Amino acid sequence: MASRPPSARASSIRTQKTKQLTSGARRVVGKRSGPGWGRWALGGWLLLVLWLSVEYVRLPDVSPLRTQNPPTTALMAQRAEEARDAGRKPRVRQAWVSLGTVAPHARDAVLISEDARFYKHEGVDWTEVENALEQSVREARMGRGASTLTQQLAKNLYLSTDRSLLRKGKELLLARRLEAHLSKQRILSLYVNVVEWGEGVYGIEAAAREHFGVSARALSVAQGAMLAAMLPAPRRWLPAQRPEALRTRAGVILVRLEREGRISAAQAREAQAELARFFGAPPTPGFGAEAIAGLPAGS
């Protein structure tokens, strides 16, 4: 039988070696993409747990807040620095008041607006987180936030307004620490006294006097709803500027207050009429489900 020429034999040998190398490479890749990736994932998880453990130990001690009001907050310091950088003198308007001296419907409006399940979670409302994620997926965009009132307090007291994942992680840890050391009433009291309500305006007493010329005790139902409606954008949604977003959100808060029995039907009608007079527009006959869904869900 005639033998193949040397060139053919060499070509065949090269082809066989190539197949062997390719097969070996596939086996190596297969091995690395299996247990190797698992090890990377496990390592990443362990690093995250280690980081959270270290950060938790380094977090500030919140126990003095049980009886002491903080003289300033991280947010106040940040706003003061921003004002100085812009060549302005920092402005601070704040007056501490007890929860008992705040109109009950104003407190309820804040809870309805920012954290309707405040008394049912331990710092993080996982139900609201899930609802926010589902809305984001459904609408193919970032939906509403899911920060609880406790998380917002942690950010105001100790952190900055940046949106990094590390800051969010610290916020979650601090929220859990606040819930572990303070009562719900104390957390709510701290929140309504330090939250931002306009340029250099902090706390509900200063906000009531700044925007409506009354004390927090004397806020009407409509005024309380407007203050609560400001919270997502406290330096943009100013009552003096009559923004439509503020009117719409305040109206929705009134609907929710009535629906959950926090105010009567007569109070709701009177507040909607006051809202219409304040904005110089006819009363809105009703609000759609989409508008009401823009607020955190109730109990």
Of 7 and 125, more confident: 125
- Percentage above 90 pLDDT, the chain: 61
For 138-142, 150-154, 167-171, 216-220, which range has the lowest pLDDT when averaged over its residues? 138-142
Cβ neighbours, 10 Å, residue 240: 8
pLDDT digits (tens, 9 = 90+) for 22-31: 444 444 444 4
pLDDT score, position 7:
47
Query: Which amino acid belongs to residue 98?
Result: S
Q: By three-state DSSP, how is residue 36 classified? A: helix
* H or E stretch at 140: none
Per-residue pLDDT for 151 more than 70?
yes
pLDDT digits (tens, 9 = 90+) for 230-245: 999 999 999 999 999 9
Could you tell me which of 134, 128, 176, 154 has the C-alpha nearest to residue 297? 128
What is the rounded average pLDDT of the residues 3-26? Answer: 46
pLDDT score, position 45:
64
Confidence label for 138 from pLDDT (cuts 50, 70 and 90):
low
What is the rounded average pLDDT of the residues 14-26? Answer: 45
Per-residue pLDDT for 287 more than 60?
no
pLDDT score, position 39:
74
Of 269 and 13, more confident: 269
Confidence label for 254 from pLDDT (cuts 50, 70 and 90):
very high
Cβ(226)–Cβ(250) below 8 Å: yes
pLDDT digits (tens, 9 = 90+) for 73-129: 999 999 999 999 999 999 999 999 999 999 999 999 999 999 999 999 988 877 766
The whole model's pTM is what?
0.76
Could you tell me which of 52, 82, 74, 108 has the C-alpha nearest to residue 259? 108
Query: Residue 201: phi, psi to the nearest 5?
Result: -110, 120
pLDDT score, position 48:
61
Please state, in angstroms and rounded to a whole number, the distance separating the CA atoms of residues 4 and 292: 83
Domains in the chain, ordered, with CATH? 75-293 (1.10.3810.10)
pLDDT score, position 14:
45
pLDDT score, position 281:
78
Please state, in angstroms and rounded to a whole number, the distance separating the CA atoms of residues 249 and 30: 55
What is the rounded average pLDDT of the residues 246-270? Answer: 97
Burial (CB count within 10 angstroms: exposed 0-12, middle 13-18, buried 19+), residue 138:
exposed
